[in-house]
Amino acid sequence: MMDSKEAKQRMVEGRLYLPGDEQIIAEQMICLERLYDYNETRPLEAEKRALLLKEMFAEIGEGCYIEPPLRANFGGKHVHFGKNVYANFNLTLVDDGEIFVGDSVMFGPNVTVATAGHPIEPEMRRGTLQYNIPVHIGNNVWIGAGCVILPGVTIGDNTVIGAGSIVTKDIPANVVAVGNPCRVFREISEHDKEFYFRDRKVDLTKSDYQEEAFQE
């Protein structure tokens, strides 16, 4: 059997390992205690939430807001958020591996970002073997409600992932992608600067909505 040092090394290298290792579980419990505290905060305790997120996450930029409840296997320990990230209710981060999220990303309700997987071969699964592959989400991405992003996926800048999509492979920048499995539906175009929903025309200028925090 592999010892704790080997298990932890394999865990970060994306190799097969035993996630039930005592030292790994002990570290996980500390992370989950902090996550519990975060989810028990009251709506007006914004400052407390911000301080907890800085303790919980590997990195988190300014202006981030995560609506409780947040679910995370390691409480955000392996999660890197840029600035101005917004997450609606029930964001689930299977963060046994690293999750990298850029600036100005929006997560709809009930989104899952998973880095962990298990062998397809049944004997290895019975042995509780696991592997973790990082996920990368670019800047200014919108992940619609109920999406699932699977291990190893990269999503390019400015892309929109339609609600309910299952993202199994990389998605390029500047596209709208939808479906199960998620595929590119179309590119983001000049039309999107003129219409925000079907035939509804944009009737604001950048100065009306683009605060300093979101300017390039």
Residues taking part in catalysis: 118
SS3 88: coil
Assess contact for 114 and 130: CB atoms under 8 A.
Answer: no
Residue at 195: amino acid letter: F
Assess contact for 112 and 92: CB atoms under 8 A.
Answer: yes
In whole angstroms, what is the distance from residue 186 CA to residue 177 CA?
Answer: 7
Assess contact for 19 and 96: CB atoms under 8 A.
Answer: yes
In whole angstroms, what is the distance from residue 103 CA to residue 95 CA?
Answer: 19
SS3 42: coil
SS3 146: coil
- Residue 18 pairs in a beta bridge with none
